[in-house]
Amino acid sequence: MGELMFSEETFQKALQLHRSGDFDTAEILYQQLLSDNPKHEDTLHLLSILYGQQDKLQDALRYIKQAIALAPNSATFYNTFANIERRMGNMDAAVLHYQKSLTLAPTSAATHNNLGVLYDTLAEVDNAIIYYRKAISLKPDYADASYNLGNALTKQGKFEEAIEVLEKALKYQPQHAQIHAHLGQLFLRLSQYDKAIKHCRTCLELDPDHTEVHHQLAVALTHEDQYEEAVTYYRETLKRDTHHVEALHNLGALYLVKRESDLALTCYLRLLLINPDIDTYYNLGVIYFYQDKHEDAINYFLKVLEFEPNHFNAHLNLGACYIKKEHLDKAAEHYEMALSLKPDDPEILYILAALKQKNLPNTTPQIYIENLFNQYAPHFDQHLTKYLDYRVPTLLSKAVTNFIGAKDADWDILDLGCGTGLCGQSFRVFAKKMIGVDVSEKMLAAAKEKNIYDVLERIDIHLAIKKYAPVDLILAGDVLGYVGDLTELFALTKDALKPNGLFAFTVEKGVGNDFKLQNNARFAHSKSYIKRLAAENGFTVVCEENAILRMQKQEKVEGYVFLVTL
What pLDDT score does 2 carry? Answer: 39
Nearest to 365 by CA among 515, 493, 484: 484
Q: Count of residues for the chain? A: 566
CATH architecture, range 281-370: Alpha Horseshoe (1.25)
pLDDT at 372: 85
Q: Collapse the DSSP code of 510 into the 3-class scheme (helix H, G, I; strand E, B; otherwise coil) and give the result.
A: coil
Identify the pLDDT of residue 459. Answer: 97
**Spatial separation of the C-alpha atoms in residues 238 and 247, rounded to whole Å:** 7
Q: Say if CB 430 and CB 405 are below 8 A apart.
A: no
Q: Which residues contact 106 (CB under 8 A, 6 or more apart)?
A: none
Q: Where are the domains of the chain?
A: 1-90, 281-370, 374-565
Alpha-helical regions (H) of 139-260:
143-155, 159-172, 177-189, 193-206, 211-223, 227-240, 245-257
Which has the closest alpha carbon to 184: 223, 145, 156?
A: 223
Integer angstrom CA distances of residue 313 from 68, 149, 366, 463: 66, 42, 19, 31
The pLDDT value recorded for residue 219 is 98
Q: What residues does 508 pair with on adjacent strands? A: 524, 559
Spatial CB neighbours of 96, under 8 Å, sequence gap ≥ 6: 82
- DSSP secondary structure string, 407-464? ----EEEEEET-TTSHHHHHHGGGEEEEEEEES-HHHHHHHHHTT--SEEEE--HHHH
Burial status of residue 275 (CB atoms within 10 A of its CB: 0-12, 13-18, 19 or more)? middle
Nearest to 396 by CA among 373, 371, 413, 372: 413
Q: Which amino acid is at 504?
A: A
Angle 64-66-69 (CA atoms, 0-180°, nearest 5)? 110
Strand partners, 559: 508, 547
The tens place of each residue's pLDDT in the chain, 566 residues long, gives 334 466 899 999 999 999 999 999 999 999 999 998 999 999 999 999 999 999 999 999 999 999 999 999 999 999 999 999 999 999 999 999 999 999 999 999 999 999 999 999 999 999 999 999 999 999 999 999 999 999 999 999 999 999 999 999 999 999 999 999 999 999 999 999 999 999 999 999 999 999 999 999 999 999 999 999 999 999 999 999 999 999 999 999 999 888 898 999 999 999 999 989 999 999 999 999 988 899 999 999 999 999 999 999 999 999 999 998 999 999 999 999 999 999 999 999 999 999 999 989 999 999 999 988 887 666 665 656 655 678 899 999 999 999 998 778 899 999 999 999 999 999 999 999 999 999 999 999 999 999 999 999 999 999 999 999 999 999 999 999 999 999 999 999 999 999 999 999 999 999 887 999 999 899 999 999 999 999 999 999 999 999 999 877 678 889 999 999 99
Residue 244, φ and ψ in degrees, nearest 5: -75, 100
DSSP 378: G
The predicted pLDDT at position 3 comes to 47
Is residue 222 classed as helix, strand or coil in its secondary structure? helix
3-state secondary structure of 249: helix
* Residue 258 · residue 446 · CB < 8 Å: no
Three-state DSSP class for residue 79: helix
Residues 6+ apart with CB under 8 A from 512: 526
Q: For residues 256 and 284, give the distance between their C-alpha atoms in angstroms, rounded to a whole number.
A: 11
The counts of H helices and E strands in the chain are 30, 9
Is it true that 281-370 and 374-565 share their CATH fold?
A: no
- The superfamily CATH assigns to domain 1-90 is Tetratricopeptide repeat domain (1.25.40.10)
Identify the DSSP state of 385. Answer: I
- How many Å apart are CA 424 and CA 430, to the nearest integer? 10
Measure the CA–CA gap between 347 and 339, rounded to whole angstroms.
9
Q: What is the pLDDT of residue 259?
A: 80
Per CATH, which fold does 374-565 belong to?
Rossmann fold (3.40.50)
Look at the pTM and tell me if it is higher than 0.95: no
> Is the N-terminal amide bond of 470 cis, ω within 30° of 0?
yes
